[in-house]
Amino acid sequence: IGHGLPDHDSLVARDARHVLHPWADLSTLGTQESLIIAEAHGIEVADSAGRTYLDAIGGMWCVTVGYGHPELVEAMAAQARKMAYFTPFGDVSSEPAARLAAMLADLTPGDLNRVQFTTGGSTAVESAVRIAHYYFASRGQAAKRHVLSRVNAYHGGTYLTASLSGKSADRTLFQYESDWVHHLESPGYDPDTSPVSAAERLDGLVAGMERAIAGIGAENIACFVAEPILASGGVLVPPPGYHEATLELCRRNDILYVSDEVVTGFGRLGHFFTSEAKFGVVPDMIVTAKGLTSGYQPLGAVIVSDRIAESLAANADRDKPVFSNGFTYSGHPVACATAVANIEVMRRDDVCGHVLDVGPYFIRRLRELRSSSIVAAVRGDHLMACVECHVPGEDGPTARNQALARRVDAYCEEAGLLVRPYENLCIMSPPLIITRGEVDRIVDIMADSLARAE
């Protein structure tokens, strides 16, 4: 890779003139000089000018088995040749969707055996909330429609999922839903910087959730939607026991527990799904996307317990028993075939086992960066991590701290490393096939970039 494209300059110009990028800085609209990624292989990508980079972002938390994997590419091509698309609506399905649904039922814990496919993470979270609403309404409890989320959560870019998201910086100008969406306290706990013990922090979080439930009334709450570790909100790891305690509160109050494993699933923390394997909880629904296809195709899924699915069927409106939720590209055959191949590759190559080995090394090496005066914290778990930058003595995402993180990010890019800047954080979620040598390269470049920015 690294050949570049002959029309590099004109592509950059066309992009600047015509593309409205997702999550883009509007102050540079029309003048942005976008990085046009033209090729990718393994854990490296190359831009249209021919420069190569080590991708420590994993595309966008999603490229897990690396770029250009021949088996995934072949699965996509074979399915496209055989049957590229047909409607998934009603009682029509496809071979890859049926195969993948059974595989997901096998990979998820408890009685989570029923899969509704979507087109990505946002549509999967939104579908989970709609399932929760339908579940209660069909049981004669239509008032149970409020949703609990958390400050700093990220659940997507549709209106509802953006309403669930709780990152203050993203909450400008749009009119988010606030009548029935509630944000509990952000649950991160960092033993390096917290003034209280993990047990005290947990007690505070649980008491806050109990108060919120009492205030809203359990009879009005449908579900609690939670990422096991908050990803885009700043890689925030809750204190031990948080997941069990929140699940217990949900059970006691007949609130459905929706685990958003869009980032934490598919190996990033060393398990296909972390809810039970790592945190000891069996939710009512698990949402997945991103790593499901290793990012090769857009696909999401919400995996629902038999208990809920059976209730939907048993209590559906007699005259109109249609669950009216789904998308033209729900469970797209090419995307599902890619996911089937991805799971087969991950199982055969024991990708999760590799993450359990290399993940702690990644975090240990990154934590060495705390010796830099401009590093406020290093947080993470296995292959999701972030370095928080600050001007010494100044805390939080202030303008100066954000500018500092952007400088570090720019120096990394100059040195051939892509990390994801967000506020005053440099976020990292490399492909899961990363080696210890590549981890060392990331840490070396980060260390040099931090030293330059100091």
Which residues of the chain form contacts with ligand PLP (CB under 6 A)? 120-122, 125, 154-157, 227, 231-232, 260, 262-263, 289
Output the smallest distance, CB 326 to ligand PLP, in A: 16
Which of 306, 311, 307, 257 is closest to 282 using CA atoms?
257
Strand extents, DSSP E, 119-180: 146-150
Share in percent of the chain as helix, strand, coil (round to 5): 45, 15, 40
User: Which CB, 287 or 453, lies closer to ligand PLP?
Assistant: 287
The pair of three-digit structure tokens given for residue 229, joined into one six-digit string: 């570790």
Q: Looking at beta carbons only, is 163 or 232 nearer to ligand PLP? A: 232
State the Cα–Cα distance between residues 429 and 175, nearest whole angstrom.
Answer: 31
- Shortest distance in whole angstroms from residue 338 CB to ligand PLP: 15
Nearer to ligand PLP, 220 or 325 (CB): 325
Residue 411 and residue 453 in contact, taking contact as beta carbons nearer than 8 Å: yes
Nearest approach in angstroms of CB 131 to ligand PLP is: 16
In a 10 Å sphere around its CB, with 0-12 CB exposed, 13-18 middle and 19+ buried, how is residue 417 labelled? buried
The least CB distance from residue 88 to ligand PLP, in Å, is 18
Distance between CA 318 and CA 344 in Å, rounded? 41
Pick 48 or 123: Cβ nearer ligand PLP: 123
Give the nearer residue to ligand PLP in terms of CB position, either 271 or 365.
271
Cβ at position 61, least distance to ligand PLP in Å: 6
Instruction: Output 406 or 420, the one with its CB closest to ligand PLP.
Output: 420
Distance, CA of 313 to CA of 256 (rounded, Å): 17
Q: For residue 36, with 0-12 CB atoms within 10 Å meaning exposed, 13-18 middle and 19 or more buried, which class applies?
A: middle
* Residue 274 · residue 310 · CB < 8 Å: no
CB-nearest residue to ligand PLP:
121
User: 220: helix, coil or strand?
Assistant: helix
Which residues lie below 8 Å from residue 83, measured CB to CB, with a gap of 6+?
Answer: 94, 95, 333
State the minimum distance, in angstroms, from the CB of residue 39 to ligand PLP.
Answer: 23
Minimum Å gap between C-beta 420 and ligand PLP is 11
Per-residue tokens: 210: 């109990």
Entry field: residues in the chain: 454
Give the nearer residue to ligand PLP in terms of CB position, either 6 or 22. 22
Tokens 């944000």 belong to 183
Q: Give the HSE-up count for residue 38: Cα atoms under 13 Å, Cβ half-sphere.
A: 18
Q: Which is nearer to ligand PLP, 48 or 118 (CB)?
A: 118
In angstroms, the CA 390 to CA 375 distance is 6
Closer residue to ligand PLP, CB minimum distance, 275 or 449:
275
Cβ at position 221, least distance to ligand PLP in Å: 20
Smallest separation, CB 233 to ligand PLP (Å): 9
Q: Give, in order, the Cα–Cα distances in Å from 120 to each of 76, 201, 210, 245, 295.
A: 17, 33, 32, 29, 10
Measured from the CB atom, the residue of 181 and 450 that comes closer to ligand PLP is 181
- State the nearest-atom distance from the C-beta of 147 to ligand PLP, in Å: 14
Read off the DSSP letter of residue 67: B
